């Protein structure tokens, strides 16, 4: 009985691992941005339909990092660096809204298709589009459902535009959301986010890491 249970648990872990890696491949190569969609597509492709075998989003994110490292290497590193540098300029440009960088560009899973995702803070929802208009930046308006915490969720405005071939995604939150980040769709914990100073530190760390990775002559 004990051996049978161990065998079942081992099989479930293996299925979770296979599903996580297939979902990661779909996100890296198939353009999937939503963890849940990638997970269901992977399950359909592999013919695995029991809920116990479905990996957590964090497992897929870890598998995605591994996949990018193995198959995209320098190209992914370059795309990530370019977007982090663009994010730094955007944070400085949008300083009046106390912006924060979030999402794949911060977490390190961004690729050449990933937009720079920023959180801006303003109690006047029209302040951001006015600012963009004053600076001649055409932007598209969207809305996004956001879970502010365990008890509060709402639809908030998003402004999207492109500059130098890189997409930007600006979510406008009320100023009191500066105190605590909204919940992440990955693990339902407060989102990781970075200020200008924190992003500068991250870029400096990247530079040191890249320098150390360069083989000596």
Mean pLDDT over the full length of the chain: 88
Of 54-68, 83-97, 144-158, where does mean pLDDT reach its minimum?
54-68
Query: What value does the mean pLDDT take over residues 78-95?
Result: 96
Q: Do 83 and 28 reside in the same domain of the chain? A: no
- Three-state SS for the chain is CHHHHHHHHHHHHHHHHHHHHHHHHHHHHCCCCCHHHHHHHHHHHHCCCCHHHCCCHHHHHHHHHHHHHHHCHHHHHHHHHHHHHHHHHHHHHCHHHCCEEECHHHHCCCCCCCCEEEEEECCCCCHHHHHHHHCCCCCEEEEEEEECCCCCEEEEEEEEEEECCEEEEEEEECHHHHCCCCECCCCCCECCCECHHHHHHHHHHHHHHHHHHCCCC
Q: Do 100 and 205 reside in the same domain of the chain? A: yes
pTM of the entire predicted model:
0.78
Range of the domain at 136: 73-213
Q: What digits encode the pLDDT tens for the residues 48-77?
A: 887 777 888 888 888 888 877 777 767 788
Query: Where residue 190 sits, what CATH number does that domain have?
Result: 3.30.460.10
Q: Do 104 and 85 reside in the same domain of the chain? A: yes
């Amino acid at each position: 009985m004990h051996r049978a249970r161990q065998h079942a648990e081992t099989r479930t872990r293996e299925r979770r691992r296979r599903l996580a890696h297939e979902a990661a491949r779909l996100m890296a190569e198939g353009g999937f941005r939503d963890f849940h969609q990638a997970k269901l597509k992977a399950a359909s492709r592999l013919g695995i339909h029991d809920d116990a075998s479905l990996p957590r989003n964090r497992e897929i994110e870890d598998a995605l990092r591994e996949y990018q490292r193995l198959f995209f290497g320098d190209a992914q590193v370059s795309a990530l660096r370019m977007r982090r540098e663009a994010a730094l300029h955007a944070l400085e440009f949008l300083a009046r809204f106390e912006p924060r960088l979030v999402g794949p560009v911060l977490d390190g899973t961004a690729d050449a298709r990933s937009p720079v995702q920023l959180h801006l803070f303003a109690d006047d929802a029209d302040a951001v589009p006015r600012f963009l208009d004053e600076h001649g930046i055409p932007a598209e308006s969207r809305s996004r459902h956001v879970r502010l915490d365990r008890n509060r969720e709402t639809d908030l405005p998003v402004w999207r535009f492109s500059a130098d071939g890189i997409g930007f995604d600006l979510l406008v939150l009320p100023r009191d959301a500066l105190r605590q980040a909204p919940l992440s769709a990955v693990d339902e914990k407060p989102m990781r986010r970075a200020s200008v100073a924190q992003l500068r530190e991250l870029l400096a760390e990247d530079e040191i890491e890249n320098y150390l990775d360069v083989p000596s002559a």
